[in-house]
């Protein structure tokens, strides 16, 4: 998250264009998720997720710190590839640990609590990162973040403890690629995957350019924009992930008839408020109108991952998480910020005001499409006959095995 609040400082220091900023925050993650996420998920599902998690955290922390020494766009881009490589295996491994330790009927809340890492990380990155960038520069900020991340990664090695083994005979496990393709052939998961792909077009540009938008359009400093955006994102993230997790568990216990309806509806609503936020002339009103979009991204996490886990079945949770991450990172992070940057650069060349706001229209357009895809997945999952395909169907009662 740090490069998002530091985008203006990095752009000025390295003489980058908005298009290059879009490339830095997007394409590295798309490539690494597509190539490395599923193999790392396989190791997590069938081996030691703790080893994968700690190793990935060490890699992304080291590459974060290495970015402090970048003197060119290419060097900084390579460090972002390293960060993305680590992140490609982090969440699947963590979800595999959760699946082995937490009972199914409480897993939505567990995923919600784990997902608090995103709003807390965003809050710290935007608020503290923006302040440190203003006082000590962006290089000191990423160097400190990388060092701290490395220390936490080593701490995880001892805190998490050995991961309980799976109670699934090796002889009954289907080939991993075949299991992935079978899951994608399920209509419910396929539409959820489409929602993840389109959602990436909403989330990546939002996080990459929301703070620069507030700085350029409404005259905030990096620390002011980071504090306002970071704190609100943190609060909405806490609310969204915890409430979303509890609501998801309740929906599963009720028979999975409305397993994705609430987050789908929220995305449709947020598309309207986001559009208004880009064109209102008052800064604090614009920030307030960004709140539903912040809430929607956090609220979806326990619902999306929880539904994916149940459709995948026991012992395939990391695979389901990996596929969802591949969907989110497949095209959106690569093309979303790039499109916004290109529109902004073109508008600036044509002397059109609020060019960044025009480019950010990508977010509400993608949000409404994401909401519609999730609502379609909700109907497909609710219509599936329970027990017809054990690996793909949602159980009526999550507590049953």
pLDDT at res. 166 = 65
Residue 393 lies in a domain: no
Say yes or no to pLDDT of 173 above 90: no
CATH of the domain at 128: 1.20.1250.20
For residues 283 and 175, the model is more confident at 283
Helix, strand, coil shares of the chain, percent, nearest 5, are 80, 0, 20
Is residue 342 within 8 Å of residue 22, measured between CB atoms? yes
Residue 143 lies in a domain: yes
Residue 392 lies in a domain: no
Residue 397 lies in a domain: no
Stated pTM of the model: 0.75
For residues 7 and 217, the model is more confident at 217
pLDDT, tens digit, 9 for 90 and up, residues 32-54: 777 888 888 888 888 888 899 99
Residue 171 lies in a domain: no
Say yes or no to pLDDT of 397 above 50: no
Residue 260 lies in a domain: yes
**Most confident region among 19-33, 101-115, 197-211 by mean pLDDT:** 197-211
Residue 43 lies in a domain: yes
pLDDT at res. 174 = 61
- In the chain, the number of structural domains is 1
Q: Where are the alpha helices (DSSP H) in 25-116?
A: 27-46, 49-66, 73-101, 107-114
What six digits make up the tokens of 279?
Answer: 């064109």
- The span from the CA of 330 to the CA of 346, in Å, is 25
Residue 398 lies in a domain: no
Domain span holding position 218: 2-161+178-382
pLDDT at res. 25 = 62
Taking all residues of the chain, what is their mean pLDDT, rounded to a whole number?
Answer: 83
Say yes or no to pLDDT of 400 above 50: no
pLDDT at res. 26 = 64
Mean pLDDT of 302-307: 90
Least confident range from 2-16, 156-170, 230-244, 342-356: namely 156-170
pLDDT, tens digit, 9 for 90 and up, residues 97-129: 888 888 877 888 888 888 888 878 877 877 788
């Amino acid at each position: 998250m740090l490069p998002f609040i530091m985008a203006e400082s990095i752009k000025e220091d390295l003489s980058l264009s908005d298009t290059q900023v879009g490339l830095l925050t997007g394409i590295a993650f798309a490539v690494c998720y597509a190539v490395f996420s599923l193999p790392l998920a396989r190791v997590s599902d069938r081996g030691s997720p703790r080893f994968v998690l700690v190793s990935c955290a060490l890699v992304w922390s080291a590459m974060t710190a290495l970015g402090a020494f970048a003197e060119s766009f290419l060097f900084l881009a390579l460090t972002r590839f390293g960060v993305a490589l680590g992140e490609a295996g982090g969440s699947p491994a963590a979800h595999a640990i959760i699946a082995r330790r937490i009972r199914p009927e409480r897993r939505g809340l567990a995923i919600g609590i784990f997902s608090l890492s995103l709003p807390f990380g965003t809050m710290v990155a935007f608020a503290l990162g923006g302040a440190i960038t203003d006082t000590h520069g962006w290089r000191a900020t990423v160097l400190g973040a990388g060092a701290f991340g490395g220390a936490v990664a080593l701490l995880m090695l001892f805190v998490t403890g050995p991961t309980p083994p799976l109670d699934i005979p090796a002889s009954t496990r289907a080939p991993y690629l075949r299991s992935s393709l079978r899951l994608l052939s399920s209509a419910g998961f396929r539409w959820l995957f489409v929602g993840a792909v389109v959602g990436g077009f909403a989330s990546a540009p939002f996080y990459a350019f929301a703070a620069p938008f507030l700085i350029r359009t409404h005259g905030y400093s990096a620390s002011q924009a980071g504090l306002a955006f970071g704190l609100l994102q943190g609060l909405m993230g806490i609310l969204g992930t915890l409430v979303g997790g509890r609501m998801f568990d309740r929906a599963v216990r009720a028979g999975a008839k409305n397993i994705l309806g609430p987050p789908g509806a929220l995305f449709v609503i947020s598309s309207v408020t986001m559009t208004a936020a880009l064109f209102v002339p008052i800064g604090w009103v614009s920030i307030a109108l960004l709140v539903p979009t912040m809430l929607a991204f956090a609220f979806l996490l326990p619902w999306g991952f929880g539904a994916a886990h149940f459709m995948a079945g026991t012992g395939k949770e990391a695979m389901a998480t990996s596929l969802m991450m591949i969907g989110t990172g497949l095209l959106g992070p690569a093309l979303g910020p790039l499109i916004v940057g290109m529109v902004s650069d073109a508008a600036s060349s044509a002397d059109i005001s609020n060019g960044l706001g025009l480019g950010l229209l990508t977010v509400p357009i993608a949000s409404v499409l994401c909401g519609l895809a999730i609502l379609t997945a909700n109907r497909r999952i609710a219509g599936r006959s329970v027990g017809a395909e054990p690996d793909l169907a949602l159980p009526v009662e999550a507590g049953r095995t």
